[in-house]
Structure 1
């Protein structure tokens, strides 16, 4: 699946690239398919200035798999019917037997070991599929995922270079200075020792400080101290030439973490970092407790570790009610008149359960402990199993088509021992269950001296579902006024995400206006909300100063996470300099019209996606729609890159390549046959 319009030799390129999972080995997935699974695939649209008409850009499209160790080994062993790594659906499904889980893990270990034997063309050194996000730091575009370090790709054609270890990437020229070579050998993510391979696992959402150029990230694993922290300065910006250049930190322990967790994101301000130690565990030790490897315990507290950016040993831990947070939107410091930091504030997409992890794998989530006290509609995944319906007792016999939800087709109402009823989505209210929310939350962590670590503010800004947040790059890590994100017009994200992230509403929230309301009338802690309107009520609002604006896609059209692209709108700052206005820009996102699906819910051969450009200021005008040559699968996170970044990419010596289809030796064929027997 690769298409490229032009050579990267041409100048003035501006690529928009989005990452997402697309299983290269998927002929026998069945129920074992999860939205978080799949090999990383980058889909990019890049723009060039036309030599004949500079005002009319030339549009190019490129689509490439990230050539990870796992991907290369999988395509080299075409007899494999399922992905090399165990599906998250297997790990979280309460119906998965201990034998099945252990076999899936053992199978992965065997495939990895076979790849290290003589005759193997591709050795699996790292198990990451690099399917989560993509960012730019220090002359490198990096694709990310929790199960390994970042991997470098080249812009704009998205060729894979190699794994980045915090010092250099595979495929880059070796450092010439002997002292630098020694640093290169010993300074890397994970360090040394028998667990170094696990300690280099890196968050899918590293942060890049656009002011200092630093790359901030953490590494979470199963062994104490569970979380390590790294901070990588840039070598290519003017800051690198200053004596005040920040030191490199690699694998520094963060004390006080409570165990192996599914940590996807974290908060970073200009001066502080926030680690999210939430009651969503990810550890094989859960098997000994008769729990799935991925398990959520709503009886345990949510913990937030706040520390100065360069001193994780000074972490202060704050506790509150259990929740899940997969994405933070913005983090900033609050100063007093003397310039001292008095608090750190964070905006995050807070879920009140872990149902997303289950519904993303088409698995009915376990009931929330408080559900027995509720008497409300509870939408279920379209593929969930209902005991009273014999026609769908075996989910693997269902047609796993592309028309499956975002929006669930049935809502189950459980009334104790009463009969179960079904309703259409239009009859399901937005906030159907206080125990199943996904809202944009405001947290404020006081840094006042003393033993008491207090969360002074914690409440929702709006009652509508909100996920996949983005801000202007000029206000990230500062107090941004506008946060952009995704919502749904029918029901909450817990039931909506199904087997793909299919978005039909984009949202812009005026954070400063909403927090000003909270100062006048403070919402109740934890359960409170500033704006209680529904999506429908916001859609009909004609208030020009409404702090929440939404854009609804046409019927049967679904989008993806938007990326904010600033334009040249400027305003005067307090110093008299001109700076970009926060809402002066565009939202770029892929859109797919599901009217292109056939009667069985499958994509037609000529199905195509589009790239839409939305005016971020009005949240109404679609400025253009770029027709793409193919359909792009629903994916995860994207980014916009500048022509300066492309021009300043660091030198590359070699690129990774796909297998040529030839078998080098008799032993290589034998090893390949052994791998195929594993299924």
Structure 2
């Protein structure tokens, strides 16, 4: 299946529409594929699926584009017991169906995030992009349309499982249910039921879902791309952020048949409960959740049309404002305690846990998160030159670097990204691969204050303590993003955190475009935090283990608290997910699953050849060296966002479905239909 009007890309296209960032335009029902190595028995019957943006209306390759844009496409490998099978399908959101129905559209219906974040976007351009989207939504509600656009989510970010439902997510709408293993789209989930499901007696009088009722209810149902599901209770925690006060609402959706013998009475459902004292509308992507507490991240990255009144972009980073962390009991947002520190950006938390005192009372909440010193990612992922970091040094040698550089100006602190002169190469343009077949590259930050590292935060909660963050420092100076832990240890103090990194200092603010992900990292958090207790790092600027990624890769110590797997030359990975071995001898006894792509398959213009293929790799998480299995896919998988593992039991336990969404039908066009098509073409 593909949308008409696609054209072959030429050299010089937008970097996020070129190479292996270019969208995949065809879908594939479950199809047997070949593999090498041995498929672990723990994978039998289960399925790995990754979400990501694939714009359908993609004829205008010179338009503004952001890596976070695009219609959601799910790409998975189902380990059917007879043979592994590949499947990929678009998430049939309202926007996706309308785009397929209206082939005259050359660009996506929604404005690009690049338009909203760019300081160079004129007020006229922003207003026109919003007005155009509004007109297209209105046209979809007029007679002659097969599908009306009721929600503006593209569902291209996350994918998770809760209470018999697999849910695709995105910040601009509620989750949408998808059926496994065929990846058929069922319908929007409102906290009570999903469209396309039979209505039970309990659901018939459940009351309003996400957003409630009222004129702005459609905004209040905007839901984080990273809901959290408690592995013990089965509860799902979500927050909903928009640009009208109280700005953030919070929901807890229990499992329908909750465990009550140990956990007490069946927990109640919370939907859209306000979180007090949030500072404004924010580009809020993730949050923290422990067994008993939730942490809301109120950071100085605003998202509000009211920014235009202050002569700022709709998405604006205000580094002089503090970063605020709201910590509250899971079911009582009104008891929130706010903690403040230096301005930063956090898009992903890795692990959140409760700490206990000698009387077994909760004394603090700990959190690990990928901390960025600025919002460079947001700009570079839209092919926009990042603004200077507020702490930019005016003197000293300047060279292109990522935002993964040293924290301070201490001459005794060795910059781990400052590799020896004989190892330095010019960035982006002149290495051996790039000179052959490199797609266009976005701008990267040239500021050595830019960085993204795994940080530890500690929020004390004793009544007698003030709201001061007692611990905030990096575990390592190496680049670290897209974190994951063993699911059974989520919301407790997980020992191991896995994430994506790079072997080259030019990782770039795009988290993947300059050198992309060629290293998978495993950190032993228990050992590193024990070292920090014995020798506390300086708050904010400190670091526990100061080694470079090169030093870590060269280590042969099996007890090293930081271990790394380096992909072969020209190979790049995507986010990895952990699957435990059974029976599990230790927390790291399992496998990491991720898609890998060999960029030697690019042509002379840096574009993927028609026969380019990706693979799904299965890496042994214990030794971080052994690839036990490689599944050869029939197509390439574009560099995307977040994936997940679904067990055979979860697939079998899905809720009943009455109907699934279908692609638009081709119809004979009426006079109004032809006129409508002309309007669509004029709107582009």
TM-score (norm 1): 0.88
User: Which secondary structure state, in structure 2, belongs to the residue aligned with residue 13 of structure 1?
Assistant: coil
Deviation at 1:312, TM superposition (A): 0.3
328, 342, 350: which is aligned to 1:307?
A: 328
- 1:433-475 CA deviation, whole Å, 9 max, x = no partner? 1x20100000000002147201110000000010000000111
- What corresponds to 2:112 in structure 1? 87
Q: Tell me how far apart the structure 2 counterparts of residues 226 and 240 of structure 1 sit (CA, whole Å).
A: 37
Contact in 1 for aligned 2:478/2:548 (Cα 8 Å)? yes
Deviation at 1:139, TM superposition (A): 0.3
- What corresponds to 1:458 in structure 2? 472
Q: Tell me how far apart the structure 2 counterparts of residues 495 and 153 of structure 1 sit (CA, whole Å).
A: 32
- What corresponds to 2:300 in structure 1? 279
- What corresponds to 2:58 in structure 1? 26
Deviation at 1:500, TM superposition (A): 8.8
Q: Tell me how far apart the structure 2 counterparts of residues 38 and 470 of structure 1 sit (CA, whole Å).
A: 24
Unaligned runs of 5+ residues in structure 1 are: 51-57, 382-398, 413-431, 572-580
Return closer, same or farther for 1:380/1:87 CA change in 2, 3 Å cut-off.
farther
- What corresponds to 1:660 in structure 2? 665
- What corresponds to 1:422 in structure 2? none
Which one has more relative contact order, counting CA pairs under 8 Å at least 6 apart? 2
Return closer, same or farther for 1:624/1:507 CA change in 2, 3 Å cut-off.
same
Q: Tell me how far apart the structure 2 counterparts of residues 342 and 241 of structure 1 sit (CA, whole Å).
A: 23
133, 138, 145: which is aligned to 2:163?
A: 138
603, 607, 611: which is aligned to 1:606?
A: 611
Contact in 2 for aligned 1:502/1:634 (Cα 8 Å)? no
Contact in 1 for aligned 2:460/2:469 (Cα 8 Å)? yes
Return closer, same or farther for 1:207/1:448 CA change in 2, 3 Å cut-off.
same
Q: Tell me how far apart the structure 2 counterparts of residues 354 and 262 of structure 1 sit (CA, whole Å).
A: 11
Which stretch of structure 1 is more off in the superposition, 315-324 or 29-38?
29-38
Unaligned runs of 5+ residues in structure 2 are: 1-25, 33-42, 403-434
User: Which secondary structure state, in structure 2, belongs to the residue aligned with residue 508 of structure 1?
Assistant: strand
What does 1:558-637 align with in structure 2 at a 5 Å threshold? 558-571=572-585, 581-637=586-642
Contact in 2 for aligned 1:404/1:499 (Cα 8 Å)? no
531, 545, 555: which is aligned to 2:559?
A: 545
Deviation at 1:668, TM superposition (A): 3.0
Q: Tell me how far apart the structure 2 counterparts of residues 629 and 236 of structure 1 sit (CA, whole Å).
A: 40
Return closer, same or farther for 1:269/1:316 CA change in 2, 3 Å cut-off.
same
What does 1:233-312 align with in structure 2 at a 5 Å threshold? 233-236=254-257, 238-239=259-260, 244-312=265-333
- What corresponds to 1:391 in structure 2? none
Deviation at 1:509, TM superposition (A): 0.2
Contact in 1 for aligned 2:165/2:177 (Cα 8 Å)? yes
- What corresponds to 1:427 in structure 2? none
User: Which secondary structure state, in structure 2, belongs to the residue aligned with residue 251 of structure 1?
Assistant: strand
- 1:49-84 CA deviation, whole Å, 9 max, x = no partner? 23xxxxxxx110001000000011011111111100
Quick check: 1:519 aligned with 2:512?
Answer: no
Return closer, same or farther for 1:659/1:30 CA change in 2, 3 Å cut-off.
same
User: Which secondary structure state, in structure 1, belongs to the residue aligned with residue 471 of structure 2?
Assistant: strand
Return closer, same or farther for 1:378/1:226 CA change in 2, 3 Å cut-off.
farther
Q: Tell me how far apart the structure 1 counterparts of residues 400 and 261 of structure 2 sit (CA, whole Å).
A: 53
- 1:397-427 CA deviation, whole Å, 9 max, x = no partner? xx9x973459x7x986xxxxxxxxxxxxxxx
- What corresponds to 2:122 in structure 1? 97
Quick check: 1:181 aligned with 2:204?
Answer: yes
Quick check: 1:15 aligned with 2:47?
Answer: yes
User: Which secondary structure state, in structure 1, belongs to the residue aligned with residue 238 of structure 2?
Assistant: strand
Contact in 2 for aligned 1:362/1:499 (Cα 8 Å)? no
- What corresponds to 1:74 in structure 2? 99
Q: Tell me how far apart the structure 2 counterparts of residues 182 and 663 of structure 1 sit (CA, whole Å).
A: 41
Q: Tell me how far apart the structure 2 counterparts of residues 456 and 549 of structure 1 sit (CA, whole Å).
A: 28
Deviation at 1:648, TM superposition (A): 0.8
Contact in 1 for aligned 2:508/2:515 (Cα 8 Å)? no
- What corresponds to 2:4 in structure 1? none
Return closer, same or farther for 1:453/1:663 CA change in 2, 3 Å cut-off.
farther
Return closer, same or farther for 1:268/1:493 CA change in 2, 3 Å cut-off.
farther
- 1:458-497 CA deviation, whole Å, 9 max, x = no partner? 0000000100000001110000000000001112654353
Quick check: 1:129 aligned with 2:154?
Answer: yes
Q: Tell me how far apart the structure 1 counterparts of residues 489 and 194 of structure 2 sit (CA, whole Å).
A: 29
What does 1:57-456 align with in structure 2 at a 5 Å threshold? 58-175=83-200, 177=201, 180-183=203-206, 186-236=207-257, 238-239=259-260, 244-373=265-394, 375-379=396-400, 403-405=439-441, 433=448, 435-450=449-464, 452-456=466-470
Q: Aligned Cα RMSD in Å? A: 2.1
Contact in 1 for aligned 2:507/2:515 (Cα 8 Å)? no
- 1:605-644 CA deviation, whole Å, 9 max, x = no partner? 1110000010100001111111100011110000000111
Deviation at 1:128, TM superposition (A): 0.3
Return closer, same or farther for 1:256/1:540 CA change in 2, 3 Å cut-off.
same
Q: How many pairs align?
A: 616
Q: Tell me how far apart the structure 2 counterparts of residues 610 and 402 of structure 1 sit (CA, whole Å).
A: 21
Contact in 1 for aligned 2:507/2:513 (Cα 8 Å)? no
Deviation at 1:43, TM superposition (A): 0.3
Contact in 1 for aligned 2:506/2:515 (Cα 8 Å)? no
Deviation at 1:339, TM superposition (A): 1.7
Q: Tell me how far apart the structure 2 counterparts of residues 196 and 402 of structure 1 sit (CA, whole Å).
A: 46
Q: Tell me how far apart the structure 1 counterparts of residues 146 and 658 of structure 2 sit (CA, whole Å).
A: 20
